[in-house]
Amino acid sequence: MQQATVAHDRLPSEARWRGGRRRLGVRGTGVLMVLPVVLLIALFTLYPFGQAVYDSMRLTSPFFPGRFVGLDNFRNVIGSTYFADAVRVTLTFTALAVPVTVLASLLISLLLNERFAGNTALRAAMLLPWALPASITGIVWKWMFLDSWGAINVGLYELGVVDKYIAWLTSPRLAMMAVVVAFMWAQTPLAATLLLIAVQRVPHELYDAASLDGAATTVRFRDITLPAIQPTLVIVTLYQILMAFTTFDITYALTHGGPGTATTMLTYFTWAESFKMLNFGSGAALAILVSLASVLVITVLLRAMPKEALLGEAR
């Protein structure tokens, strides 16, 4: 009888031991499955960032021997005459490009949510601009906006809208507009697709009930669609801010930062400092500043937004 009691008392401890071993095995399997991804992230993200931090504190140039200079590269970059202009141009471009891109994406998603002939083909074709490399997008729009024989100038002239060609890429304000148009054309497809998915997830019964109550289309959008897609809309907006803040390929291919410094953003300034001036230390310092500024902007925006905008009213 006593042996049976001892055996009975051992059962819970043995069960706990087996359960703990089973959980440890599951965790070990999870770690092994995640490890390749972690290693890839470390190899292609953490290592380059660490190398950039190291280079930013050194004088690295083909013309001078490398040496440690501390924070001098950061001081020189921030104190340069081009830095303030690059910050201003970057903020201006972001303020112009993001609202236009998000608004266009929202309107397109609402349009594609309707049933009409050719809807499926239009959805597939819409992804083409997003699939193109950004440098190709810049070249395509450069052909469109060229001052002398660009397609837009030729078309406007042949239609009699203008009596002389417009200097799209050699006028500072028009060059900025051209970069905004190219950015919007490249970024709208993905944003519209994400918003379309969010719109399609809204229960159709809500629209039916609103229609029975006599609600207008604008009222249904304001009271049903917009609250339902708000989390996705916030994510799309934050993503577009990050893309606008760090865009380089389109500017490089379309305007080369010109005319003058009219479209010289921080990323282009980073490239010029590294590969034109061959001052890799200053270029790395600029890259670190751009990365930190991007993280700061996104963090501030996320903290400033109410939780309902990020998680949705249902939560």
Q: What is the pLDDT along the chain (315 residues), one digit of tens a residue?
A: 444 454 445 545 555 555 555 565 667 777 788 888 888 887 888 888 888 889 889 887 777 777 888 889 899 999 888 899 999 999 999 999 999 999 999 999 998 888 888 778 888 888 888 888 888 999 999 999 998 888 999 999 999 998 889 999 999 999 999 999 999 999 999 999 999 999 999 888 888 788 887 778 888 888 888 888 988 998 899 999 999 999 999 999 999 998 989 999 999 999 988 888 888 888 999 999 988 888 888 888 777 776 766 666 544
- Domain co-membership, 27 together with 170: no
Six token digits for residue 261: 């410094």
Quick check: is 61 in a domain?
A: no
Q: Which domain holds residue 106?
A: 84-311
Quick check: is 71 in a domain?
A: no
Write down the residue that tokens 């809807």 correspond to.
Answer: 119
Last-in-domain residue among 19, 36, 56? 56
Quick check: is 36 in a domain?
A: yes
- Domain co-membership, 208 together with 259: yes
Quick check: is 79 in a domain?
A: no
- Domain co-membership, 155 together with 263: yes
Burial 225-250 (b: 16+ CB within 10 A, else e): beebbbbbbbbbbbbbbbbbbbbbbb
- Domain co-membership, 137 together with 36: no
50 three-class SS: helix
- Domain co-membership, 292 together with 210: yes
How many CA atoms lie less than 13 Å away from 107 in the CB half-sphere? Answer: 6
User: What's the domain count of the chain?
Assistant: 2
Q: Sort 215 into a burial class: Cβ within 10 Å, 0-12 / 13-18 / 19+.
A: middle
- Domain co-membership, 202 together with 245: yes
The whole-number pLDDT of residue 1 equals: 46
The residues that bridge with 67 in the sheet, in sequence order, are 59
Q: Closest Cα partner for 274 from 253, 295, 248?
A: 248
Helix 119-126 × helix 81-112 angle, to 10° = 160
- Domain co-membership, 89 together with 44: no
- Domain co-membership, 210 together with 92: yes
The whole-number pLDDT of residue 101 equals: 96
- Domain co-membership, 17 together with 130: no
The whole-number pLDDT of residue 15 equals: 54
What distance, in Å, lies between the first and last C-alpha atoms of the chain? Answer: 56
The whole-number pLDDT of residue 24 equals: 56
The residues that bridge with 184 in the sheet, in sequence order, are none
Quick check: is 101 in a domain?
A: yes
CB 297 within 8 A of CB 245: yes
- Domain co-membership, 20 together with 110: no
Quick check: is 233 in a domain?
A: yes
60 three-class SS: strand
The whole-number pLDDT of residue 102 equals: 96
The residues that bridge with 158 in the sheet, in sequence order, are none
- Domain co-membership, 225 together with 96: yes
Q: How far is CA 75 from CA 69, 84, 192, in A?
A: 11, 13, 41
Task: Identify the helix (H) or strand (E) that includes residue 281.
Answer: helix 280-304
* SS (HEC) of the chain: CHHHHHHHHHHHHHHHHHHHHHHHHHHHHHHHHHHHHHHHHHHHHHHHHHHHHHHHCEEEECCEEEEECCCHHHHHHHCCHHHHHHHHHHHHHHHHHHHHHHHHHHHHHHHHCCCCCCHHHHHHHHCHHHHCCHHHHHHHHHHHHCCCCCHHHHHHHHCCCCCCCCCCCCCHHHHHHHHHHHHHHHHHHHHHHHHHHHHHCCCHHHHHHHHHCCCCHHHHHHHHHHHHHHHHHHHHHHHHHHHHHCCCHHHHHHCCCCCCCCCCCHHHHHHHHHHHCCCHHHHHHHHHHHHHHHHHHHHHHHHHCCHHHHHCCCC
Distance, in Å, from the CA atom of 63 to the CA atom of 55, rounded to the nearest integer, reads: 15
Distance, in Å, from the CA atom of 278 to the CA atom of 289, rounded to the nearest integer, reads: 18
The whole-number pLDDT of residue 314 equals: 46
Quick check: is 64 in a domain?
A: no
The whole-number pLDDT of residue 92 equals: 95
- Domain co-membership, 19 together with 125: no
Q: Which domain CATH number covers 285?
A: 1.10.3720.10
Quick check: is 104 in a domain?
A: yes
